[in-house]
Amino acid sequence: MTISINEIASGVGLMIDGQIYIVESYEHVKPGKGSAFARVRIRNIKTQQVLERTFRSAESLDDIDLEERRLQNLYKSVDSYHFMCHETFEEITVSPELLGDNARFLQENLEVKGLFYGDQLLKVELPTFIVAEIMQSDTGLKGDSTKAGTKPAIIDTGATIQVPLFVNAGDFVKIDTRTGAYVERVKK
């Protein structure tokens, strides 16, 4: 299906040169001289590359229907991850390449968002924050509650993150999955 430049909105999926992009932002510009155009910021689904493109108002683009579905992480096998779709209860097998760096924060039974084009899973988005247990860490110093220093710690998913000196094994911490940064210690 084709859409005109006037119908572009944030979150719309576009097919450009055989690649799938999502519109992140757009700006309609009507200069004093000449015809109107749209300045569009798009992100490639596969490579995560961000491009800025300019389209004339007379151009039309190929719109694609992207669907967001809730998925639950079931388990990891030798060469893939297995998710269950909440709407259809189907099991979906995902390669580690599709997850990329997100795989290090993938906990058992964690709910994630899957972006689909038809029946093809294009992208898996983790929640912005997760709560994880510190499995292994050097012992901290008693009374050291400053944030001046950090130390490496291994969380329940097997990933290594930097935590403040006062965090010990057995503590639960909140982690930003976009950056892999420690946010705060939480009580569970």
CATH of domain 66-125: 2.40.50.140
Give the bridge partners for 19, in sequence order: 16
For the whole model, what pTM was predicted? 0.73
Give the bridge partners for 12, in sequence order: none
Q: Which helix (H) or strand (E) holds 98?
A: helix 96-99
How far is Cα 160 from Cα 152, in angstroms, rounded to an integer?
Answer: 6
Ordered DSSP codes for 134-179:
EEEEPPPPTT---SS-EEEEEETTS-EEEEETT--TT-EEEEETTT
Topology classification of domain 2-64: SH3 type barrels. (2.30.30)
> What pLDDT tens digit does each residue of the chain (188 aa) get?
788 877 888 888 888 888 888 888 888 888 888 888 889 999 888 887 889 998 887 888 888 888 889 999 999 888 899 999 998 899 999 988 888 888 899 999 999 999 888 888 888 889 999 999 999 988 756 555 555 688 899 999 999 999 988 888 899 999 999 898 999 999 87
Opening angle at CA 116, ends 118 and 79, nearest 5? 110
Residue written as token pair 């689909």: 116
- Could you state, in order of their start, the residue ranges of all structural domains in the chain? 2-64, 66-125, 129-186
Distance of CA 114 to the CA centre of its chain: 9
Q: Do domains 66-125 and 129-186 have the same CATH topology?
A: yes
Selected from 2.102.10.10, 2.40.50.140, 3.40.640.10, 2.130.10.10, the CATH number assigned to the domain covering 129-186 reads 2.40.50.140
